[in-house]
Structure 1
């Protein structure tokens, strides 16, 4: 299909297809054609047009087409039952809360696709990833993924459910948005409340063999048997389908994509037809399209607490995992102090005590054997000028007093009878990887392997109604955050712990709606899966100024840090170092400027350990991000790694810290990214569109870390303007590539020359 801006005819297979109607939204025009295809373009002919298509069955005929409101609204009905309503956003009334999410989009068009319940792909809208002129549009936004690629169309993201996951079946992660922007200025913004929302980007065109194993959601050790998704298009023999695909389906049933919400009912199950609502607009470039999207999102009322951003956060996780003790925590703190003193850093860091400080999960009492005097420990840490936080999540271990109390009060999610262990292992058309991974997880949960780490471990294999599987081995239940009393109960228990022990805040883990019991039921029925995550953040996490959370969708007003998911101790884009900057930039486009990168050096899972090079390069890549987080001490890796880390932090204190307050205030007011893609500086420069290993901080700093193993030089792109390398007086003209030396202890950083 070809489409020309401002022309109402297209050619498909040599047949002229005449537009049947036009909607004018200020400077933007939408033409709708008989086959459900659409062209969005600027009225003055500037810029690139964007082609879209409603999910109309091939060969369906137009039954009725009406243009209303002086050309600012139209509706079309096709013979297959598909109906399209297109209305200029300026026509949306302030009385309708249903339209609040897109009412403020300037010169936008709201597309509402309705389809019968039995429509094969639901109510569907596809957006071509290439524009109509240069065929080179690049796309950004949407979601964190396990394999994070920038720009997004480099990936082949299989169409699947769009809600926060801990490693979703198609690779979608814990931080999710419903808007996407292109380098040519297209904005696609889906209604966050679309029922049964599914999303795909450049999905594979090759069909998996009939009867092949499905993609599936797993936890903990199950993930060892799962591929890192999405796949990169360049690594496969076939290209993707070249479209951004959005669907509102009748239900979550999908034999090829297994996940927990296939067994949970919502109000959407009562619909008589399907409706997908998506707003589209054409801006001048990717930056203006992103800003238009960010205008629609809720804003925080304050910046993060100083302690979260001005000094590194130190967590016990990767060094101690579940074996953390009072003794090991104090020893860790003393090592940190000694290293800071040697590097002439003042303390003021947070030390976060991670997994298994509690006697039982959710009990919120320190294990007396491991922490004989937690109050005294916290005082000692405060005397060392540390703030102290602990790791918590919204699960309660079966048999704990807290769980029994919550049961009695009706504060837990209820559920149906889960599948048997055998039924779980052979769920769906299970393939070998799924069978092996699930079987190992069931055995691990049954026998509590490795043993000796957790009191009350094991017994989590044969699940009871209301229990669900997670990365630990204990049977757990989840708090029902639709119950206001349950939220207040949980918050009050956290505050009691905080006041009793002297804690300063919390690291909040989990909260994704994939951690719910089979057939989950809440006191107030959930309209969408992400509503559970939103309640967790709004009703619990937001009550604590010193906090971080890893789940986000529609919670842009949260004032703490939004953490990236756990990274593996590897180099690649498959959840390693090379995925760090793409994840940071995706967070920026989604409207989460207060990003906490994951642990420097990764999580050291499965026997992994960073060498000097990986540790040094990871520290450099993280140093200019909004916050910095360590667990593996660089001095335990090598003196070389320690020197590289210290130098990167010194550069942070010299260049970033003085600018950080103003950058955070701008982020608070407008969600303006602190760390930006290079196209944020020069959005009309095509060279910036695909750079995935550099980022800008504000308008004056370019950070270009080395993220490839063995590299001692790297190419750096300098945007338009005049620049100098840090600690150099030589002025360099921008809008060109240069090559710079980057030995292991050097982080290439460039500063704008006024």
Structure 2
């Protein structure tokens, strides 16, 4: 049966039932929640990616510094950015390099590169370079509860490092700490290592200044050219750059071995066996400057040691209290004599005029006149060992002395940058004044078998004995006998295997031994 409807028939529309409205509202609400969840997930993903970009291996980078953990999750190294905060939004990561282009003070070049040279060692190359002249770059390292070793010879020496007071960053260059107590010593390297198997090496290119705050247990690493002896090389912009490498390992022995092999050269030769086997008698220990051949012969008849003779070969040697016959007698009696030598040329010396004519001296900034310096025996010029002609001239004179007088070797004194004038120029421009100290030690290489030097900067390949600065005849850590072992251990940690502790009993001066007597500790 079929039903036929008229053509104008229109069905009646039914209104949605009240039961469907809650369902539609629920669907709409669910859609809104879904969209919100997707948006939240997107933001979470972006933030998660950003967090991953600020983490590289075991290092966590923040805007104000970074921390490095070992494989057990323990923090072993912590450093803060003192001169500015990183803008983390400017950071990106490609492979092993995490780089940033802005800080709170403006544009910069910053990167951290992860390097794994060994299975047991992880290193991080860090570089912060300003893109404008003037501002210093400063980072603060916290030594916290770890023991730290290395650095430099100091007037007050402890093992491990123990600092006192507060010191603003000062140039980290070689200095005579016997005369300048608050400076760094004649043997120094930009290297420190901790008992938590973390080590840091400041790059050679950095105009490096070091300070500290003992109460907060911090070291200040600063790079600057303003009011500094460091100078950019010709053609280089004076933009301060602080770059270094931090390495962590499984234990302090393995990390130290890696750092020494990576950064320090080894001596190519070994000093003469006699330098290790026999004692050396120094005229300075007993007679100071009041010495002549009669006093010396009387003492030698009693002891019969190898002799270190303190005299002044470049003042007026031919008229001194010692003659060719005396040296011949010493040689015939089987004595080996070493002569005290320094890089200063006294104005009364005939060598002074020759040095001016041949342009062998460090000069004033104008480059026309020799820069006169004050040292412990007056005023004089100082040889420019960046000039190969000055090095060869000096070595030639030493060979003549050795041949004429039968000298076995030389005791090379001074060489610290503290004896350089404040403003000077050299044959080859120096970005770091301590390079002059290194050139001085390199000059001594031909005389290595029995020679001593008292400065060292990147000089581990020199096969001479490195002599620590004089000790006073007192019991204490400030240039006293108590600091002897800490100083030798520190220099050894810096890669120098041949060390002379200088005179047994210290550098006796009456005014340095009077007063309250401190009894040595019981060993």
| TM class by smaller structure | 0.7 to 0.9
Contact 2:133 2:240 in 1 (8 A): no
Matched, 1:274 2:240: yes
Report the more deviating stretch, 76-85 or 595-604.
Answer: 76-85
Residue deviations 1:164-186, cap 9 Å, x none? 00124633111101100011111
Match of 2:296 among 318, 324, 329: 329
Match of 2:210 in 1: 199
Deviation at 1:77, TM superposition (A): 2.8
Distance 1:115 1:602 in 2: 47
Task: Give ranges in structure 2 of 5+ residues lacking alignment.
Answer: 1-49
Match of 1:315 among 282, 289, 293: 282
Report the CA distance shift for 1:377/1:181 in structure 2 as closer, same or farther (over 3 A).
same
The verdict on how the C-alpha distance between 1:532 and 1:492 changes in structure 2, with shifts beyond 3 A counting, is same
How is 1:341-740 mapped onto 2 (pairs within 5 angstroms)?
Answer: 349-356=305-312, 358=313, 360-361=314-315, 365-368=317-320, 370-371=321-322, 373-374=323-324, 376-415=325-364, 466-472=371-377, 474-605=378-509, 607-608=511-512, 709=519, 713-714=522-523
Q: Secondary structure of 2:294's partner?
A: helix
Cα separation, partners in 2 of 1:111 and 1:567, compared to 1, 3 Å: same
Residue 32 of structure 2 corresponds to: none
For the residues of structure 1 that align with 2:512 and 2:175, how far apart are their CA atoms? 24
What's the Cα RMSD here?
A: 2.9
TM-score (norm. length: structure 1):
0.58
**Offset at residue 117 of structure 1 (A):** 4.5
The match for 1:88 among 89, 114, 117 is 114
In structure 2, relative to structure 1, the CA distance for the partners of 1:270 and 1:469 (3 Å cut) is: farther
Per-residue Cα deviation, 1:59-86 (whole angstroms, up to 9, x for no partner)? x6435101112x4544453231354211
Q: 2:148 aligns with which of 139, 148, 155?
A: 139
2:253 to 268, 287, 306: 287
For the Cα contact (< 8 Å) 2:309–2:340, is it kept in 1? yes
- Give the Cα–Cα distance (whole angstroms) in 1 for the partners of residues 503 and 203 of structure 2: 33
Distance in 2 (CA, whole Å) between partners of 1:595 and 1:490 is 24
Cα offsets for 1:509-557 (capped at 9, x unmatched): 0111221234211111112111101111113455443200000010001
Matched residue, 1:150: 159
- 1 CA distance for matches of 2:98 and 2:270? 41
2:196 alignment counterpart: 184
| Contact residue 152 and residue 187 of structure 2 kept, 8 A | yes
Q: Distance in 2 between matches of 1:157 and 1:314?
A: 40
CA distance in 1, matches of 2:52, 2:246: 18
Contact 2:120 2:250 in 1 (8 A): no
Secondary structure of the structure 2 residue equivalent to 1:475 = strand
Q: Quick check: 2:121–2:255 contact (8 Å CA) kept in 1? A: no
Q: Contact conserved, 2:87 with 2:100, CA < 8 A, in 1?
A: no
Partners of 1:187 and 1:281 within 8 A in 2: yes
Does the alignment pair 1:244 with 2:219? yes
- How many equivalent residue pairs? 467
* Deviation for aligned residue 1:353: 0.1
Task: Verify the 8 A CA contact 1:317 1:354 in the aligned structure 2.
Answer: yes
Tell me how far 1:381 sits from its aligned partner.
2.3
Question: Match for residue 78 of structure 1?
Answer: 103
**Residues 296-318 of structure 1: per-residue CA shift (max 9 Å, x gap):** 20111111211211111211112
Residue 84 of structure 2 corresponds to 57
Q: Look up the match of 1:110.
A: 125
1:138/1:544 Cα in 2 relative to 1: closer, same or farther (>3 Å)? closer
| Structure 1 residues 118-169: Cα deviation after superposition (integer angstroms, max 9, x where no partner) | 665x122222102xxxxx2011100010011222134446231111001246
C-alpha spacing 1:49/1:119, structure 2 compared with 1 (3 Å) = farther
1:165 aligns with 2:193: no
CA contact (8 A) 1:63 1:76 kept: no
Per the normalisation by structure 2, the TM-score is 0.82
Q: Secondary structure at the match of 2:162?
A: helix
Q: SS of 2:138's equivalent?
A: strand
In the alignment, is residue 37 of structure 1 matched against residue 65 of structure 2?
A: yes
CA deviation vs aligned residue, 1:634-692 (integer Å, no higher than 9, x gap): xxxxxxxxxxxxxxxxxxxxxxxxxxxxxxxxxxxxxxxxxxxxxxxxxxxxxxxxxxx
| Cα contact 2:387–2:427 (8 A) shared by 1 | yes
For the pair shown, which has the larger CA radius of gyration, 1 or 2?
Answer: 2
CA distance in structure 1 between the aligned counterparts of 2:88 and 2:502, rounded to whole angstroms: 52
**2:157 touches 2:478 (CA, 8 Å); kept in 1?**
yes
User: How many angstroms apart in 2 are the aligned matches of 1:265 and 1:76?
Assistant: 25
Query: Secondary structure of the residue that 2:221 maps to in structure 1?
Result: strand
Match of 1:451 in 2: none
C-alpha spacing 1:182/1:544, structure 2 compared with 1 (3 Å): closer
Secondary structure at 2:210 match in 1? strand
CA contact (8 A) 1:560 1:594 kept: yes
Change (3 A) 1:124 1:19: farther
2:269 to 282, 302, 317: 302
Report deviation, 1:269.
Answer: 9.8
